[in-house]
Amino acid sequence: MATKRISAVLLDGGVCCAPLSAAPLAVADAAELARVFAALADPVRLRLLSLVAAGGEVCSCDLEVPLGKSQPTISHHTKALADAGLLVGEKRGRWMMWQVVPERLAALRAALS
């Protein structure tokens, strides 16, 4: 019930409304947006997101080496990005395959205008 309403900026295709400069951000919208930006506020997560974005579909096991972090740390970061809606994962056999959610990135771009 607490989250019946979610910022319109972050729903739908993400090409929505309420850009920063149009009108003062509502408190709830600001909280939601901040949650997503917080997911991007870490250099390791940004590189992880970039690796997945550039690769199209990437396995968790292929992230440890390029990022130079331990397996639990990689798992921690993929979860953070997934919780923010920026990544979706699909378990395929033994492997976890990750993809970016382009609509989510578009929603962020829309909010930053």
Partner DNA sequence: CGGGTAGATTGACGGCTGTCGATGTATCGA
Partner DNA sequence: TCGATACATCGACAGCCGTCAATCTACCCG
- Tell the smallest beta-carbon distance from residue 93 to its own copies (Å): 25
Site string for its own copies, 51-90 (x = CB under 8 A): x-xx-----------x------------------------
Bridge partners (DSSP) of residue 63 are none
37 binds, options its own copies, DNA, none, Cβ within 5 to 8 A by partner type: its own copies
Q: Is 99 in the site for DNA (CB under 7 A)?
A: no
Q: Is 27 in the site for its own copies (CB under 8 A)?
A: yes
| Tokens at 94, concatenated | 């033994």
**1-60 positions binding DNA, by CB under 7 A:** 38, 41-42, 44-45, 59-60
40 binds, options DNA, its own copies, none, Cβ within 5 to 8 A by partner type: its own copies
| Tokens at 79, concatenated | 């979860």
Bridge partners (DSSP) of residue 95 are 92
Q: Is 73 in the site for DNA (CB under 7 A)?
A: yes
Bridge partners (DSSP) of residue 30 are none
CA 73 – CA 53 distance, rounded (Å): 19
Q: What are the φ and ψ backbone dihedral angles of 2, each rounded to 5 degrees? A: -65, -25
Among 3, 23, 65, 93, binds its own copies (CB under 8 A): 23
Query: Residue 47, exposed/middle/buried by CB under 10 A (0-12, 13-18, 19+)?
Result: middle
